[in-house]
Structure 1
Amino acid sequence: MPNSKVWRLIPVLEASGNVQMAIDRWLLEQHQSGKQPPCLRFYTWSPPAISLGYHQRQYPEYWQHLTWKGEKLNLVRRPSGGRAVLHQGDLTYAVITSGFTGSRVDAYQKICEFLIQGWRSLGVELHYGKAGRGYIHNPNCFGTATSADLVTADGYKLIGSAQLRSAGAILQHGSMRLQPDAELFTQVFGAESFTKPQLPQSLTVEKIITALTAAASNCFATEIEVQPLSQMEWEAILN
């Protein structure tokens, strides 16, 4: 279990998918080399994007030409594994840490505990999914729920996560589907894939981030300090 006394919280960022993935990769490299403490951050993708898993080579060609509200959808490759995720109307979390022992699934579930606790405090109970045999053939991450994903009581897959391990350090990030657009989702994955989330009406992104940050502090037994990316850090990330 990670034992760092202080984690860094980077305030919520809206940026393109390529920038967001560059930040996650940089934070992982910095933590791995001992230059950054464990880190928690939340972000949104602007413009909307489809992110592909690092090893995902097969996807429909038309994904390269999709638009939404006059903007071209970005097609972005994640440093982590898994299937394609549509980032629109979602909130992404990222945890960069180290010190976990056990299997990849063990690490997933230890990290996911803060998501379960945080959403429970918001009135939403989550449990792990169970993938059917079709998972391996499904390009849509949200088309099936694996044991690393979190679903609501009525079977809605709220959070899909992916992980990258590098020399003892872990990047785990995941998409929380809050307000997906049915028309866009159907364009990308087909009508049979779309279900609407049944979430409390009063939920805001700010409330979700506050609840999940408190849960992370509790689950990882750490203090969390807000520290935005500095100008020097931005230059290192974007160069």
Structure 2
Amino acid sequence: MTNNKFRLIPLLSASGKVQMAIDAWLLEQHRLGLHPPTLRFYTWSPAAISLGYHQRRWPDFWENLSWENSRLDLVRRPTGGRAVLHQGDLTYAIITSGITGSRIQVYQKLCEFLIAGWRSLGVNLHYGTTGRGYIHNPNCFATATGADLLLENGSKLIGSAQVYRDGAILQHGSMRLQPDRSLFSQVFPETPPPMINLSVNQQGESLIETVMQALISAAETCFNTQLVMHPLTDLEWQSIQA
């Protein structure tokens, strides 16, 4: 994963169904050797709950929740893990190949740019230590495994998940920037809402932009690569939607 140019797709806001279709399409194109390694950032509109690929149980009331006068989408991810609430968060996705090691080693290799980028903003992160017991909890952010990144107060800032296809890897994850505590409590009533204190002075879009720029710079260093901005083309959109 060195010396390749990565494609950087500009920030995109879209429904969860569209975002998951893009990630799945990028993975398949990379698996076929038709697309370079890629990094992208996106937000979910409307707000959504994403379910892990193998997750088969979740509360019935999730089907009827709303946020800002729009019903929360319930979307299936191509990756594993538990449910994630996507509101006030920024999602990253990285599609690449050629990384060796155990699954946790691959997670940590791909998370290097997240740790370095957030450190440049004055936020120190560390890996979680929870074992396999997390599979019994429907809420991804209720536990923290070695694939997850925690703030110094123990709150999970970034939860990530992976899927492999013939050596190609999709890893994507949610960064909780400005979560609404009341909505979180509605979705996960048995889990205390997160105590997120980022000590980054921006808000809203400027916070997203600040975080993205820090992570893009860190990715170029950690992956020894050049990120080349290239929006999705009309032809690519047609392929994704097909």
Task: Please give the secondary structure, in 2, of the residue aligned with 1:187.
Answer: helix
- Superposition map of 1:70-109 within 5 A: 70-109=69-108
CA contact (8 A) 1:3 1:99 kept: no
Question: Does 2:185 correspond to 1:202?
Answer: no
Task: Please give the secondary structure, in 1, of the residue aligned with 2:82.
Answer: coil
Aligned to 1:231: 234
* Distance in 2 (alpha carbons) for counterparts of 1:201 and 1:223: 26
Task: Please give the secondary structure, in 2, of the residue aligned with 1:199.
Answer: coil
CA contact (8 A) 2:121 2:200 kept: no
Aligned to 1:216: 219
* Distance in 2 (alpha carbons) for counterparts of 1:190 and 1:132: 23
Query: Relative to structure 2, which stretch is displaced further, 182-191 or 130-139?
Result: 130-139
- Superposition map of 1:131-170 within 5 A: 131=130, 134-170=133-169
Q: One-letter code of the match for 2:122? A: G
Normalising by structure 1, report the TM-score. 0.97
Normalising by structure 2, report the TM-score. 0.96
* Distance in 1 (alpha carbons) for counterparts of 2:144 and 2:227: 30
CA contact (8 A) 1:4 1:38 kept: no
Instruction: Report the CA distance between 1:132 and its aligned residue.
Output: 5.8
* Distance in 2 (alpha carbons) for counterparts of 1:3 and 1:132: 31
Instruction: Report the CA distance between 1:191 and its aligned residue.
Output: 5.6
* Distance in 2 (alpha carbons) for counterparts of 1:5 and 1:69: 42
Instruction: Report the CA distance between 1:139 and its aligned residue.
Output: 0.3
Gaps of 5+ in 2: none
Aligned to 1:16: 15
- Superposition map of 1:106-125 within 5 A: 106-125=105-124
Cα offsets for 1:132-190 (capped at 9, x unmatched): 67522110000011110000111110000000011000000000001111111000001
Kindly, what percent of the aligned residue pairs are identical? Answer: 63
Q: One-letter code of the match for 2:216? A: T
Instruction: Count how many residue pairs are aligned between Structure 1 and Structure 2.
Output: 238
Instruction: Report the CA distance between 1:196 and its aligned residue.
Output: 2.5
Q: One-letter code of the match for 1:64? A: E
* Distance in 2 (alpha carbons) for counterparts of 1:137 and 1:151: 20
Aligned to 1:32: 31
Root-mean-square deviation over aligned CA pairs: 1.1
* Distance in 1 (alpha carbons) for counterparts of 2:208 and 2:83: 23
Gaps of 5+ in 1: none
